[in-house]
Amino acid sequence: MMTDEALSALAALAHPTRLAAFRLLVRHEPDGLTTGELVEHSGLTQSTFSTHLAVLAKAGLVRSEKQGRNQIQRAEIGALSALMLFLAKDCCGGRAELCEPLLAELTCC
Amino acid sequence: MMTDEALSALAALAHPTRLAAFRLLVRHEPDGLTTGELVEHSGLTQSTFSTHLAVLAKAGLVRSEKQGRNQIQRAEIGALSALMLFLAKDCCGGRAELCEPLLAELTCC
DNA sequence: ATCATCCATCGGTAATAACCGATAGGTGTG
DNA sequence: CACACCTATCGGTTATTACCGATGGATGAT
């Protein structure tokens, strides 16, 4: 993952509405949710939420698929993994000792 | 890590200058760098960079320590780990199979 | 004591992002 | 074909953020 991709992923998640939507989508993998359901959860206007969704999509964190007249949204777990790997390499690159506690916590969950 | 903390950490890292500074600090653990050195790397004004540094500090990603008339900045690896754990729990919570590839990559680095 | 250095904060401007209502393009239904 | 529904995009306003120069407090050197 390039720095620019990481930046847009970070920016996409750095918003309450988008982070909540993304986490909700992760919990609904692999079925996904329709845009309308996400809008309801967000409490925002359909148009406002749509732009948030576009940010997530542009960052590669969410992919959408048309199903009838609904749009199914799904979390792109691979993008999340890539982002975490990007962050992890900052400390693990050459200094694995710094990441050891992190790995210990991750493997237990 | 609470959602608000994760949000401020994400927002702090979602900026080219701040992400670069943070990564640089991680690479210079545990010695740290002075604010002046970071300013040089950033290519920005001292005042502008100082506000960026404040964002990182407020998010708990950087802690500073006074040393003479210099201010030594250090990356807070624990905060990075906490953020990654926060993100990881989204997919690992109840569905460890999604995080398996991530863990495989992490343990190898 | 004086002076230079380092850095945080203030004031102000310009750019960016968030939000809404309204519109319009598709898609299924009657 | 007409109609209702779902969703993306446009136009415009407001709020937030980024950036700079300038100021001032603190520290070390002369």
Beta bridge partners of B33: B73
pLDDT tens column, B41-89: 999 999 999 999 999 999 999 999 999 999 999 999 999 989 998 998 8
Which is more confidently placed, B103 or A36? A36
Boundaries of every domain in chain B: 3-108
What pLDDT, on a 0 to 100 scale, did the predictor assign at position B108? 58
Binned at pLDDT 50, 70 and 90, residue A108 comes out as low
What mean pLDDT do residues A51-56 have? 96
Longest dimension (CA), chain A: 51
Beta bridge partners of B73: B33, B64
For A70-85, b/e burial (b = at least 16 CB within 10 A) is: ebbbbbbbebbbbbbb
Output the distance from A75 CA to C24 C1' rounded to whole Å: 28
Nearest to B84 by CA among A98, A24, A27: A98
Q: Give the architecture (CATH level 2) of A3-108.
A: Orthogonal Bundle (1.10)
Nucleotide nearest to A11 (CA to C1'): C17
The answer to whether the CB of B41 falls within 8 A of the CB of B34 is no
DSSP 3-state of A33:
strand
User: To probe the interface with B, which of A2, A3, A10, A103 has the most B CB atoms within 10 Å?
Assistant: A10
DSSP 3-state of A32:
coil
A22 in contact with chain B, both atoms CB, cutoff 8 A: yes
Output the distance from A108 CA to C27 C1' rounded to whole Å: 46
Q: Vertex B25, ends B23 and B26: CA angle to 5°?
A: 65
Check residue B1 and report its DSSP letter. Answer: -
DSSP 3-state of B66:
strand
Longest dimension (CA), chain B: 51
Sign of CA pseudo-dihedral B43, B48, B54, B56: negative
Q: How far is Cα B63 from Cα B56, in angstroms, rounded to an integer?
A: 8
Residue B17 has pLDDT above 90, yes or no: yes
